[in-house]
Chains A and B, each alone.
Chain A
């Protein structure tokens, strides 16, 4: 009996070893022996045509030609941010893509571009705004503690030397490989600086427990260090209407509004704006002095900071309660207002419900979720 068991175990081990060897040979063969030759990537129905060497992923091939598709995981097929419609030439959907796509997306030809290999000519649809995205190198000029777990980074651009963006847009900051993290990762941060200042950007970064990028920012990144980022991305920003506005944010959701209010100050504004900013205690509140100064300076701007759990030591004489409760108290008739929200999905959902009850319809509500 024992001999039979040993034989079975040995056979199973041999089979496992054989399959591992075969898989390795296949991977090696594809890398070394298979030459897909030059391939053409047709972008947006002939609007652009790229000649690339086959064998790379679609995401990498586009990046090599200066087209940057948002991706947080660096091409490891886990974040699903790099979805693109690939009408022709991508081949069957890979097993690594299926978990990240809905059946509707599969039916529509949506693919995870970091998991699609360019093996032949293919066509792809790329959102127009991504053609303006570039990769930038910069130097960290200043790191400022805004709270115990939020830092402001100021990055002076090195190459290219200038960036064009709209207040509300974001960049993807690259955290290089470090420690146990074998590959770079990319994380999105809204720019908190004003767009008119083209040779530098500022970001507001909140520490995520266990976060790869934020841990790097908080423990390893220093002033004078070189960093890489790509951008600008995103559609969040002020509409062209002349409606009065309600802004709502919490935590690092401050970033787009800190950019917007100073841009409006510099360019002129004929819309009244009330900015509700929520924090838990005084130690979580930041840019308070600066925003109160702006409130004094700008007759169209009202700043309403609120603490949900002020401590006795906070000596807080401002609004208290959840930001939704503060909105309930301050917003009467929202039928002519626009709302802009930036923060966690829970905050956006809860605040959005309050604002809708006040008459701000969903088509006049714009939000930038922490997603």
Chain B
């Protein structure tokens, strides 16, 4: 099983996401992550899908997506040189003592503190999956109160 990243351009219309998600559900494909948002053209949205499956499964996924009326284009960018990012917001238990240590850690990861409470901090981080995992692991000992993260977004690099 290989993870594939698909960049799917769709019409920016209500119901499109449920078309795409429904397709995955009924054909038995697994979505690892999904991120959707408007593109530079506000009539078009871009869905970045991470799908688990062998070449055959990915080929079927791509063909089935292409059949949807609202799908404009499907690109498998798994093997393309690309920039990909996840975003993480994480609320960590942080008393006066821990706070200093956390700040140092977050400096290493180049994260930002976006909220300070009396006993907690909210940290914002972006990065590839490895970095996000590393941040979560490093903060675990302090006590994670809440965590939210987006699916992967990715763009193919410009030609050199």
Instruction: Determine if chain A interacts with chain B.
Output: no
Chain B interface (Cβ within 8 Å of chain A)?
Answer: none
